[in-house]
Structure 1
Amino acid sequence: MTDLQRGASGIVLAVGLTLGLAACGAQSEVSPVLDTTTSFRQAIADGDGQAACELLNDATRVTLGSDCANAIASEDLPGAASDTGTAEVQGRMAIVQFNDDTIFLAKTPDGWRITAAGCVPQTEGPYQCTVEGP
Protein backbone atom coordinates (compact mmCIF):
# COMPACT_ATOMS: atom_id res chain seq x y z
CA MET A 1 0.00 0.00 0.00
CA THR A 2 1.40 3.40 -0.96
CA ASP A 3 1.56 6.38 1.40
CA LEU A 4 -1.24 8.02 -0.61
CA GLN A 5 -3.49 4.98 -0.26
CA ARG A 6 -2.70 4.75 3.47
CA GLY A 7 -3.51 8.47 3.85
CA ALA A 8 -6.77 8.13 1.92
CA SER A 9 -7.75 5.10 4.02
CA GLY A 10 -7.10 7.11 7.18
CA ILE A 11 -9.27 9.98 5.93
CA VAL A 12 -12.12 7.61 4.99
CA LEU A 13 -11.86 5.92 8.39
CA ALA A 14 -11.86 9.29 10.22
CA VAL A 15 -14.85 10.54 8.22
CA GLY A 16 -16.68 7.25 8.80
CA LEU A 17 -16.04 7.41 12.55
CA THR A 18 -17.16 11.04 12.69
CA LEU A 19 -20.38 10.30 10.81
CA GLY A 20 -20.97 7.22 12.94
CA LEU A 21 -20.56 9.19 16.15
CA ALA A 22 -22.88 11.93 14.85
CA ALA A 23 -25.48 9.30 14.01
CA CYS A 24 -25.13 7.80 17.49
CA GLY A 25 -25.74 11.23 19.01
CA ALA A 26 -28.95 11.62 17.04
CA GLN A 27 -29.94 8.01 17.71
CA SER A 28 -29.54 8.52 21.46
CA GLU A 29 -32.25 11.21 21.24
CA VAL A 30 -34.76 9.05 19.36
CA SER A 31 -35.90 7.13 22.43
CA PRO A 32 -36.73 10.24 24.53
CA VAL A 33 -38.52 11.78 21.51
CA LEU A 34 -40.64 8.66 21.05
CA ASP A 35 -41.32 8.50 24.80
CA THR A 36 -42.62 12.08 24.75
CA THR A 37 -44.90 11.52 21.76
CA THR A 38 -46.19 8.21 23.14
CA SER A 39 -47.00 9.86 26.48
CA PHE A 40 -48.71 12.74 24.68
CA ARG A 41 -50.84 10.46 22.51
CA GLN A 42 -51.76 8.34 25.54
CA ALA A 43 -52.78 11.45 27.48
CA ILE A 44 -55.00 12.49 24.54
CA ALA A 45 -56.54 8.99 24.36
CA ASP A 46 -57.17 9.04 28.13
CA GLY A 47 -58.74 12.51 27.97
CA ASP A 48 -56.05 13.82 30.31
CA GLY A 49 -55.63 17.36 28.98
CA GLN A 50 -53.40 18.38 31.90
CA ALA A 51 -50.86 15.64 31.16
CA ALA A 52 -50.97 16.48 27.43
CA CYS A 53 -50.39 20.19 28.14
CA GLU A 54 -47.37 19.42 30.31
CA LEU A 55 -45.71 17.85 27.25
CA LEU A 56 -46.15 20.98 25.11
CA ASN A 57 -43.45 23.62 24.87
CA ASP A 58 -44.29 26.96 26.49
CA ALA A 59 -45.11 28.81 23.26
CA THR A 60 -47.53 26.12 22.10
CA ARG A 61 -49.18 25.94 25.50
CA VAL A 62 -49.73 29.72 25.45
CA THR A 63 -51.57 29.52 22.10
CA LEU A 64 -54.16 27.26 23.77
CA GLY A 65 -54.97 29.90 26.37
CA SER A 66 -55.16 29.90 30.14
CA ASP A 67 -57.20 26.67 30.23
CA CYS A 68 -54.85 24.52 28.18
CA ALA A 69 -56.22 21.24 29.55
CA ASN A 70 -59.78 21.87 28.34
CA ALA A 71 -58.62 23.50 25.11
CA ILE A 72 -56.45 20.58 24.06
CA ALA A 73 -59.12 18.06 25.07
CA SER A 74 -61.55 19.82 22.71
CA GLU A 75 -59.17 19.48 19.75
CA ASP A 76 -59.53 16.58 17.34
CA LEU A 77 -56.14 14.96 17.96
CA PRO A 78 -55.33 11.30 17.32
CA GLY A 79 -54.77 9.37 20.54
CA ALA A 80 -52.65 6.36 21.37
CA ALA A 81 -52.34 3.63 18.81
CA SER A 82 -50.22 0.57 18.30
CA ASP A 83 -48.24 2.61 15.77
CA THR A 84 -45.15 3.86 17.65
CA GLY A 85 -44.14 6.28 14.94
CA THR A 86 -40.92 6.97 13.13
CA ALA A 87 -38.67 9.62 14.64
CA GLU A 88 -36.09 11.81 12.96
CA VAL A 89 -33.89 14.02 15.12
CA GLN A 90 -31.93 16.96 13.72
CA GLY A 91 -30.08 18.74 16.50
CA ARG A 92 -32.62 20.30 18.84
CA MET A 93 -35.62 19.61 16.59
CA ALA A 94 -37.45 16.36 15.89
CA ILE A 95 -40.37 15.05 13.89
CA VAL A 96 -42.32 11.88 14.59
CA GLN A 97 -44.57 10.51 11.87
CA PHE A 98 -47.44 8.19 12.67
CA ASN A 99 -49.98 6.65 10.31
CA ASP A 100 -52.57 9.22 11.40
CA ASP A 101 -50.53 12.17 12.66
CA THR A 102 -47.23 14.02 12.58
CA ILE A 103 -45.81 15.63 15.70
CA PHE A 104 -42.98 18.20 15.86
CA LEU A 105 -40.78 18.60 18.93
CA ALA A 106 -38.02 20.83 20.27
CA LYS A 107 -35.46 20.04 22.93
CA THR A 108 -35.86 22.31 25.94
CA PRO A 109 -34.11 22.47 29.33
CA ASP A 110 -36.99 20.27 30.58
CA GLY A 111 -36.49 17.66 27.85
CA TRP A 112 -38.29 17.12 24.55
CA ARG A 113 -41.50 19.12 24.27
CA ILE A 114 -44.13 19.17 21.54
CA THR A 115 -44.29 22.28 19.37
CA ALA A 116 -47.04 21.08 17.00
CA ALA A 117 -49.42 18.12 16.86
CA GLY A 118 -52.22 16.86 14.70
CA CYS A 119 -50.17 17.81 11.64
CA VAL A 120 -50.85 16.61 8.11
CA PRO A 121 -48.73 17.38 5.05
CA GLN A 122 -50.17 19.67 2.40
CA THR A 123 -49.61 19.30 -1.33
CA GLU A 124 -48.27 22.85 -1.32
CA GLY A 125 -46.83 24.65 1.65
CA PRO A 126 -46.10 23.57 5.22
CA TYR A 127 -47.93 21.03 7.35
CA GLN A 128 -51.41 21.94 8.56
CA CYS A 129 -51.46 21.43 12.35
CA THR A 130 -54.37 21.28 14.78
CA VAL A 131 -52.21 22.50 17.67
CA GLU A 132 -49.08 24.61 17.16
CA GLY A 133 -47.10 27.44 18.64
CA PRO A 134 -46.46 30.81 17.04
Structure 2
Amino acid sequence: MSEAPETSPATSRRTLLCGAAAVLAAGGTVAVTGCSSSAGSSEKSSAPQGAVDLGPASAIPEGGGKVFREQKIVVTQPAAGQFKAFSAKCTHAGCIVDQVKQEQIQCPCHGSRFGIADGAVQDGPAPSPLPAYAVTVEGGNLKVTPS
Protein backbone atom coordinates (compact mmCIF):
# COMPACT_ATOMS: atom_id res chain seq x y z
CA MET A 1 0.00 0.00 0.00
CA SER A 2 1.44 3.42 -0.89
CA GLU A 3 1.27 6.50 1.28
CA ALA A 4 0.16 9.93 0.14
CA PRO A 5 3.03 12.11 -1.04
CA GLU A 6 4.34 14.57 1.56
CA THR A 7 3.41 17.47 -0.71
CA SER A 8 -0.36 16.83 -0.60
CA PRO A 9 -2.20 19.77 1.00
CA ALA A 10 -3.76 19.28 4.44
CA THR A 11 -7.51 19.73 4.68
CA SER A 12 -8.56 22.16 7.39
CA ARG A 13 -11.03 21.20 10.09
CA ARG A 14 -13.34 24.00 8.91
CA THR A 15 -13.29 22.64 5.34
CA LEU A 16 -14.12 19.14 6.55
CA LEU A 17 -16.98 20.33 8.80
CA CYS A 18 -18.46 22.58 6.12
CA GLY A 19 -18.18 19.82 3.54
CA ALA A 20 -19.90 17.38 5.89
CA ALA A 21 -22.67 19.90 6.57
CA ALA A 22 -23.15 20.40 2.83
CA VAL A 23 -23.38 16.64 2.23
CA LEU A 24 -25.91 16.22 5.06
CA ALA A 25 -27.97 19.12 3.75
CA ALA A 26 -28.08 17.86 0.19
CA GLY A 27 -31.44 18.54 -1.36
CA GLY A 28 -32.28 21.41 1.01
CA THR A 29 -31.24 24.97 1.57
CA VAL A 30 -29.21 25.42 4.73
CA ALA A 31 -27.06 28.26 6.04
CA VAL A 32 -23.96 27.04 7.84
CA THR A 33 -22.68 29.83 10.10
CA GLY A 34 -18.97 30.54 9.90
CA CYS A 35 -18.30 28.37 6.86
CA SER A 36 -17.26 30.96 4.34
CA SER A 37 -13.85 30.31 2.89
CA SER A 38 -12.87 33.85 3.82
CA ALA A 39 -13.91 33.70 7.48
CA GLY A 40 -11.74 35.97 9.53
CA SER A 41 -10.80 38.14 6.57
CA SER A 42 -12.05 41.66 6.04
CA GLU A 43 -14.72 41.28 3.40
CA LYS A 44 -16.25 44.55 2.31
CA SER A 45 -18.97 42.80 0.30
CA SER A 46 -20.51 41.22 3.43
CA ALA A 47 -21.09 44.59 5.10
CA PRO A 48 -24.35 46.34 4.34
CA GLN A 49 -23.97 49.23 1.90
CA GLY A 50 -25.30 52.72 2.76
CA ALA A 51 -27.38 53.65 5.80
CA VAL A 52 -29.45 50.83 7.25
CA ASP A 53 -32.68 51.58 9.16
CA LEU A 54 -32.88 49.21 12.13
CA GLY A 55 -36.14 50.42 13.62
CA PRO A 56 -36.89 52.14 16.92
CA ALA A 57 -34.03 53.15 19.20
CA SER A 58 -36.32 52.24 22.11
CA ALA A 59 -35.77 48.54 21.22
CA ILE A 60 -32.17 48.76 22.48
CA PRO A 61 -32.01 48.30 26.27
CA GLU A 62 -29.78 50.62 28.31
CA GLY A 63 -26.67 48.70 29.40
CA GLY A 64 -27.37 46.08 26.74
CA GLY A 65 -27.95 45.74 23.04
CA LYS A 66 -29.53 43.86 20.19
CA VAL A 67 -28.10 41.73 17.38
CA PHE A 68 -29.56 42.34 13.91
CA ARG A 69 -28.48 39.02 12.45
CA GLU A 70 -29.74 39.56 8.90
CA GLN A 71 -27.87 42.88 8.61
CA LYS A 72 -24.82 41.51 10.50
CA ILE A 73 -24.95 44.50 12.87
CA VAL A 74 -25.08 44.71 16.66
CA VAL A 75 -26.27 47.93 18.34
CA THR A 76 -25.65 48.68 22.01
CA GLN A 77 -26.64 51.40 24.46
CA PRO A 78 -23.84 51.60 27.06
CA ALA A 79 -25.44 54.67 28.72
CA ALA A 80 -28.84 56.33 28.36
CA GLY A 81 -29.17 57.80 24.85
CA GLN A 82 -25.64 56.72 23.80
CA PHE A 83 -25.84 54.23 20.93
CA LYS A 84 -22.93 52.26 19.46
CA ALA A 85 -22.96 49.99 16.42
CA PHE A 86 -20.52 47.28 15.41
CA SER A 87 -20.10 44.52 12.88
CA ALA A 88 -21.76 41.39 14.27
CA LYS A 89 -19.08 39.23 12.62
CA CYS A 90 -16.63 37.91 15.24
CA THR A 91 -13.02 38.74 14.45
CA HIS A 92 -11.90 35.23 15.39
CA ALA A 93 -13.62 32.86 12.96
CA GLY A 94 -16.29 35.01 11.35
CA CYS A 95 -19.27 33.65 13.31
CA ILE A 96 -22.16 36.02 13.93
CA VAL A 97 -22.43 37.13 17.56
CA ASP A 98 -25.71 35.98 19.07
CA GLN A 99 -26.48 38.07 22.13
CA VAL A 100 -25.66 41.04 24.32
CA LYS A 101 -25.62 39.96 27.95
CA GLN A 102 -23.94 41.24 31.12
CA GLU A 103 -22.66 44.30 29.22
CA GLN A 104 -20.84 42.09 26.71
CA ILE A 105 -21.42 41.19 23.07
CA GLN A 106 -21.10 37.41 23.02
CA CYS A 107 -20.00 35.03 20.27
CA PRO A 108 -21.42 31.49 20.50
CA CYS A 109 -18.71 29.73 18.50
CA HIS A 110 -15.58 29.94 20.64
CA GLY A 111 -16.56 32.16 23.58
CA SER A 112 -15.19 35.55 22.52
CA ARG A 113 -16.67 38.52 24.40
CA PHE A 114 -16.60 42.18 23.37
CA GLY A 115 -17.31 45.40 25.30
CA ILE A 116 -20.61 47.14 24.55
CA ALA A 117 -19.04 50.62 24.68
CA ASP A 118 -16.15 50.09 22.27
CA GLY A 119 -16.31 46.58 20.80
CA ALA A 120 -12.96 45.78 22.45
CA VAL A 121 -12.06 42.15 23.11
CA GLN A 122 -12.74 41.31 26.75
CA ASP A 123 -12.27 37.56 26.42
CA GLY A 124 -10.63 35.72 23.51
CA PRO A 125 -9.80 33.99 21.26
CA ALA A 126 -10.84 36.96 19.08
CA PRO A 127 -7.65 38.80 18.04
CA SER A 128 -9.15 42.28 17.52
CA PRO A 129 -12.17 44.44 18.38
CA LEU A 130 -15.40 44.40 16.41
CA PRO A 131 -15.30 47.06 13.66
CA ALA A 132 -17.34 50.12 14.70
CA TYR A 133 -20.06 51.62 12.50
CA ALA A 134 -21.57 55.10 12.51
CA VAL A 135 -24.99 55.20 14.21
CA THR A 136 -27.53 58.01 14.49
CA VAL A 137 -31.09 58.34 15.71
CA GLU A 138 -33.42 59.97 13.18
CA GLY A 139 -37.10 60.36 14.00
CA GLY A 140 -36.68 57.84 16.82
CA ASN A 141 -35.19 55.21 14.49
CA LEU A 142 -31.65 53.87 14.41
CA LYS A 143 -29.68 54.50 11.22
CA VAL A 144 -26.40 52.62 10.93
CA THR A 145 -23.79 53.26 8.25
CA PRO A 146 -21.08 50.61 8.00
CA SER A 147 -17.61 52.06 7.41
- TM-score bin (small chain): under 0.3
TM-score, with structure 1 as normaliser: 0.28
Give the number of the structure whose residues are more often strand, by fraction: 2
Compare CA radii of gyration and give the structure with the larger one: 1
